[in-house]
Structure 1
Amino acid sequence: MSRRRALAALLLAAASQADAAGACRGTIYLTFDTGSQSQAEFIAATLNRHHIKATFFMANEKTTRGDWSLDPSWAPYWKARAAEGHAFGTHTFDHVYYKGDGPEGRIEVRPQFGANAGKKLSWTPAEYCAELKRVDQRFLELTGRRLDPIWRAPGGKVSPRTLAAGKACGYTHFGWAPAGFSGDETSSEAFPNAVLLKRALANLKDGDIFLAHLGIWSRKDPWAPADLEPLIAGLQQKGMCFATLREHPDFPKKP
C-alpha cells in the first residue's frame, strides 16, 4: 500500500472513531501565518479535503512566486479561503517586529518588509493601530470582506502597550500554546519533521492554539507536506476536533 493510501486509511479510521465516540474530546485551533507561501496551496487543499476550518494571520510577505502575499495576484487564493469559511486576522502589513517600549508612550518597531524594512522606528499607538488596519483594508480590496477582529504579532512579541494599541482599534491578540509551536521555523537538520510531529502529538491538548506558516524560506525540508496530514490524523485519533478562533473563548464578543 502506498504511503498516501495508508494515510487516507488512517484518516478514515480516525474519523470513524470520532463518530463512534459521538462527541469531541477536545478542540485544537489550527492557525497559519503567511510566509514564503511555498506550501499555501498544499495547506489549503489539505484543510479543504478534510473539512477543517483554520485561522490565517496575514502580512504582506515576499513569496516564492516572486510577488507578495497580499498582492492582487493572491486575490483568488484568499477569496477561495474566505468562501470556505476560514477565519482571518492581521499580522501587521509589513511584518513589523516589536522591539521595545519607547518614551512618551511610543512603541519601538522594526518592519521586515516594505519601504522601511530593517529600520528601527518609533510609533505612537495610533500609528501601530494604523499598521494593523492596513491588512484589513487590503483584505477588503482582495476579497470584498473584512478581517475578523484579531491580530498576531510577528514572532509573538508583544507588550502591554502593543496589546492596548491593538485593543483600542478593535483587535484582540492571539498567540499560540507552547505545545502548539510547530517548529517549522527551525532547522530541519536539528529538528526533523518526524521529531516535530511526535512532539506535537504527544503534547497538544484540548484548547491549544497551533501555529505553522504557509511556507518558510530557511527550512530545507518543509514542514507541511510531511507533517500536516499525519498531525490531523493523529489528533483525530485522540478524539480532537478543529475550530477557527471565532469559536475560541477569548474571541471578542459583539457588543
Structure 2
Amino acid sequence: MRRASLLAAAVLAAGSVAAAPAPAPAACAKPVYLTFDTGHMGVADLIAQVLDRQHVHATFFLANEPARGGGSSLDDHWAAWWRARAAEGHAFGSHTYDHVYWQGDAGADTFRFKPQFGAAAGKRETWNIDRYCAELDQSADRFRAMTGQAMLPLFRAPGGKTSPALLRAVEQRCGYRHVGWADAGFLGDELPSDRYPNATLLQRALRNIKAGDILMAHLGIWSRRDPWAPAVLEPLIAGLKQKGFCFATLAEHPAYRDWLASHPRR
C-alpha cells in the first residue's frame, strides 16, 4: 500500500512538473523594425514567403498604387493578399491613398500636395488638413474593408517628405503619428541596380544596421532592373539574425508604444 502511495505521489509530482509553464524567452536586446511601402506588387508574394519562412513580422504602409499586370495594390485582386498578411500578425499603417507628396506649407493648417496617382495625379493642389486627414483615412478604411482589421494610427508620407507643421497638424487633427526610417535602414531598392547591385546593398545593410533601426523597402519598384526582393531580403534577414538581431513590428517600437496606447486604431 505504501509503495502504491509513493508511486501515485511520484506520478502527481511528474504531472505537476509537466504542467508548469515554460519560462518566457528573454527579450531580444537588438530589435530592428522591418517596414514595406506598397509598390507595383510584383514581388509581394515572394516577400510574403520569405517573411513566413523566416518567422518575421513586418509593418506595411498602404497606398493604392498601380500594380504590375494591371489593377492597383488595394483593389479586389489584392484583398486576399492583405487579408492573409493581417491574419499572420503583421502590422499596418497609412501611406496616403493616392501616394500624395507634400510640396510645401501654405498657411495655417494648409499645405501644398501633389498626388502621384488617382484622379488628381500629377497636379499640384492646396489642401487644408481635414482633406489630408481624409486621404490618410481612405487607406485605413480600405484596409478595414479588405481584412476586417484596423490599422495602427501611424503613417508614412511618400518619400518621407513632411514639415514640422504638417506633422503637428496630422497628430492633432488626424490622429496619426509619422514613421520615417534610419539612415542605415534605407535598404536601397529604389536605387538603380547598375550602380547599386544587390550584393552591394546587402553588404552595406549588414555592415551598417544597428539595434533600434527602422528598415524600409517596397513591394516592388518599377525603375529597378534587378529586383531587390527576394534576392537581398532573405540573406539580409538571415545575416542580421546571425548577428544577434531580432525583428518586431512598430507596435512594439519604444518611440510609438505610448502613442499607440493612447490613440485608437483606424
**Shared fold (TM-score greater than 0.5)?**
yes
Task: Specify which of 119, 125, 143 is matched with residue 123 of structure 2.
Answer: 119
Q: Is the radius of gyration larger for structure 1 or structure 2?
A: 2
CA contact (8 A) 1:129 1:165 kept: no
Task: Specify which of 40, 46, 57 is matched with residue 44 of structure 2.
Answer: 40
User: Tell me, what secondary structure is at the counterpart of 2:92?
Assistant: strand
Q: Please tell me whether residue 154 in structure 1 is matched to residue 158 in structure 2.
A: yes
User: Tell me, what secondary structure is at the counterpart of 2:226?
Assistant: coil
Task: Specify which of 221, 225, 234 is matched with residue 220 of structure 1.
Answer: 225
Which residue number in structure 1 is paired with residue 185 of structure 2? 180
Number of aligned residue pairs = 235
Distance 1:200 1:97 in 2: 27
> What is the Cα deviation at residue 170 of structure 1?
1.3
Please list every run of 5 or more consecutive structure 2 residues that lacks an aligned counterpart in the other structure: 1-24
Could you list the per-position Cα deviations for residues 171-214 of structure 1 after superposition, in whole angstroms to 9, with x for gaps in the alignment? 11100000000110010001001110010000000000000000
Q: Please tell me whether residue 102 in structure 1 is matched to residue 109 in structure 2.
A: no
Distance 2:119 2:218 in 1: 24
Please list every run of 5 or more consecutive structure 1 residues that lacks an aligned counterpart in the other structure: 1-20
Task: Specify which of 176, 193, 196 is matched with residue 191 of structure 1.
Answer: 196
> What is the Cα deviation at residue 146 of structure 1?
1.2
Give the AA of the match of 2:176.
Y
| TM-score normalised per structure 1 | 0.90
Q: Please tell me whether residue 90 in structure 1 is matched to residue 94 in structure 2.
A: yes
CA contact (8 A) 1:126 1:165 kept: no
Which residue number in structure 2 is paired with residue 210 of structure 1? 215
Give the AA of the match of 1:212.
A
Q: CA RMSD in A?
A: 1.3
Distance 1:130 1:122 in 2: 14
Distance 1:94 1:109 in 2: 11
Task: Specify which of 55, 58, 80 is matched with residue 54 of structure 1.
Answer: 58
Gap change, CA 1:22 and 1:88, over 3 Å in 2: closer
